[in-house]
Amino acid sequence: MEHSGLLSGWRLRAVTSSIALAMFLVNIEVSVVATSLVAIVDDLQGFNRIGWVVTSYLVTYTSMYPHIFRPHIADTTQGLIIIWSKFSNAWGRKTCMVCALFLFVAFSGACGGSQSMTQLIIFRSFQGVGAAGCVSLGLTIAYEMVAEHDYPKYAAIISSFSAFGSLVGPLLGGAFSEKVSWRWIFLINVPVGSLICVLLFFSIPNRFPYQNQPIATSRDGVHRSKLARSRSLDLLGAFCLLGASLLLVTALLEAGVTFKWKSAPTISLFTLSGILWIAFVLQEYRLSKSVHTTTEPIFPWEFFQNRAWVGTLMLSLLSGAPYIVEIIDIPQRFQTLGVDAFGAGVRLIPFNLLIALGAVAVNIVAGKSGIPPIVLLSVGVAFQLTGVCLLSTLTSVTSIPSAIYGYQVLTGLGIGIMFGLCLVLPPAVAKSRDLALCAGAVLQFRVLGGALALAVATTVWNNYATTRLQHLLPPDQLSMILKSTGAVSLLPEPAKRQVMEVLVRSYNQRTRVLIGFTAAQFVAVMMLWRRPQISFTQKDSKKTEKTEHSSITDAALKS
């Protein structure tokens, strides 16, 4: 059923500003940690668990589950982005958006007060619960508050704030770590997030986007109470998705560090993850094909049958990998070579600046020039692949090569192009009734791709570095370095240089993991191929635009 929830005037400006600022806060929480990781793990003594500081935020988008093999650490898992979207269908966009932002703010404060790595990982997990809702519902509200021909414009606004968060995040993280305390990278969210909560509460109309209709309806158009719509949630599918993601990421991060690759715990984790992934697919198929159930699937089976939509999801999944890994890897390279945290943030500007410019510029080009997105996406992948390959060739252990800034420009521009276009593709390739699910899915797959890539890359780094360092250092010195990189400066000169060479090569090995993720994006781009090609050019007549969009959607479903 179509809604009539378009906003105008002060409400449109206030909601746009609130969503943009919320997206800024959520996105900054990835990049702000990039230059603070060294300070955090040095203070809390846990360099060998550094991957969890970022990954727990990325993949922990649901309720807490006790860790199976390490009960003193509680982890949560990716998946709540889509689940937030489903809850918003039942309880309303406004209620869920405010609740999501409140959770994010509350656990940001808890992260700032953490006294151990275990506490930080747990609180980062709950912080991710709120973050998932902010990104999913923020984008959904943005889709629903304006007409289709305004999508590129508002996508550019939201993309610019998100990208700006990534740009200034490393600078703020470095500044707080150097001048005050790393704890302020989390505590600053409390006053700012609280103000956004208030603004959202007063600016979003009640029952948006159905504020002009007497009764909200479900996805299938049947009038239901909120309780009945809540009961229609696919809890079994959610459990399978969340469990599968949790077990897979845990296996990747812990194998070779806590457990051996061929050990029973590692094999069990991978096996159980595979079983749950299969169970998730079967559950979604059963619900989608059944005519005797009111339970709505998290991921409708028709999504799997829509080639263009699957291609969009794969692009989002794969493009999240180079962003997350490089925004962590590049500052660590600089700090390993003696640059302070703020200086590392400054040197990361080319990477984040080009992501911001690329995301904004590509939406403007797509909206004004009529160039098909498939062409722009191919250009973005080419830039990414070139930049990632070049970043994996750095070998200096005494100075920072100037070429690294050019490599950052190429990689960042390619990532920005992909991010910008993936935000506006869902309305062109999926049904409008599934828009909330699609918005959540795009963001969820991007986060999941980044989390999986970071888990794989961290495993490669840990195994490569540990294997080679244990032949160079006695156990006590190796243990010190795995807890704090500052211990490298305490080593005598011959051993120090050898350790530095191992660390630099470890970073290169981690970057090479991204080559596969990036090259695979070409396959996903080709899945968007069709005649006529998707285009976001504005039409002189809204009727013409609506007819063209309808034909594009029908073609996507048939393909």
Find the mean pLDDT for residues 333-353. 83
- For the chain, first and last CA: distance in Å? 24
Q: Is 61 helix (H, G, I), strand (E, B) or coil?
A: coil
Burial of 88-109, coded b for 16+ CB within 10 Å and e otherwise, reads: bbbbbbbbbbbbbbebbbbbbb
* Residue 220 located in a structural domain: no
Residue type, 301: W
Distance of alpha carbon 522 from alpha carbon 39, whole angstroms: 38
* Residue 372 located in a structural domain: yes
Q: Per-residue confidence at 35, pLDDT binned at 50, 70, 90? A: confident
pLDDT tens for 140-173 read 788 788 877 777 777 777 777 776 777 788 888 8
* Residue 218 located in a structural domain: no
pLDDT tens for 385-432 read 999 999 988 877 777 888 899 999 999 999 988 888 887 777 777 665
The structure's pTM equals 0.70
Beta carbons within 8 Å of 493's beta carbon, 6+ residues apart: none
Q: Residues of the chain with pLDDT > 90: what percent?
A: 10
pLDDT the model gives residue 383: 94
Find the mean pLDDT for residues 468-491. 70
* Residue 3 located in a structural domain: no
- Out of 121-125, 267-271, 304-308, give the one with best mean pLDDT: 267-271
Question: Which one, of 291, 284, 308, lies nearest residue 426 by Cα?
Answer: 308
Distance of alpha carbon 530 from alpha carbon 318, whole angstroms: 21
- How far CA 281 is from CA of 238, 274, 434, 442, 488, in Å, comes to 11, 11, 18, 18, 47
Q: Domain range spanning residue 336?
A: 9-211+230-558
* Residue 219 located in a structural domain: no
pLDDT the model gives residue 301: 78
How many domains in the chain?
1
pLDDT the model gives residue 216: 46
* Residue 4 located in a structural domain: no
pLDDT tens for 200-220 read 888 888 878 776 666 544 444
Beta carbons within 8 Å of 156's beta carbon, 6+ residues apart: 359, 360, 363, 364, 420
- CATH number, domain of 278, equals 1.20.1250.20
Peptide bond preceding 209 in cis form (omega within 30 of 0): yes
Question: Which one, of 130, 124, 127, 69, lies nearest residue 101 by Cα?
Answer: 130
Q: Per-residue confidence at 382, pLDDT binned at 50, 70, 90? A: very high
Q: Output the CA torsion sign for 381, 383, 389, 392.
A: negative
* Residue 216 located in a structural domain: no
Does pLDDT of 542 surpass 60? no
Q: Per-residue confidence at 104, pLDDT binned at 50, 70, 90? A: very high
* Residue 297 located in a structural domain: yes
pLDDT tens for 426-459 read 777 766 555 556 666 776 688 778 878 887 888 8
Does pLDDT of 64 surpass 50? no
Distance of alpha carbon 254 from alpha carbon 224, whole angstroms: 45
